[in-house]
Amino acid sequence: MSEQKQKQWQCQMPNCGYIYDPERGCKKNKVEKGCSFEDLPENYKCPLCGAGKKQFKACNWD
Ligand SMILES: [Zn+2]
């Protein structure tokens, strides 16, 4: 198989749906490209709605 793709995580807050993509990182939170969701700081917040990490769910497990 080819290289493993890092999981994307989606914010579960109603009307949000922001997806954290490790290949993009998160400029607003000063997260560099390639940082997996698991490695984000505990105080990471959704750049759109401000929800914490616990509100995110992995969206591509396969
Ligand atoms: Zn959100």
pLDDT tens digits, residue range 10-60? 999 999 999 999 999 999 999 999 999 999 999 999 999 999 999 999 986
Residues with CB under 5 Å of ion ligand 1 are: 11, 13, 16, 18, 46, 48-49, 51
Does residue 3 have a pLDDT over 70?
A: no
Predicted confidence at residue 55, as pLDDT, reads: 97
C-alpha distance from residue 1 to each of 4, 5, 56, 58 (Å): 8, 11, 28, 21
Q: Does the pLDDT at position 61 exceed 70? A: no
Distance 49 CA to ligand 1 centre (A): 4
- The yes/no answer on whether domain 1-62 falls in CATH 3.40.50.300 is no
Rounded to the nearest whole angstrom, what is the distance from the C-alpha of residue 46 to the centroid of ligand 1? 5
pLDDT recorded at residue 1: 55
Structure tokens at 56: 């995110």
Cα 37 to averaged position of ligand 1 atoms, centre (Å): 14
pTM: 0.85
Do 22 and 36 contact (CB within 8 A), yes or no? yes
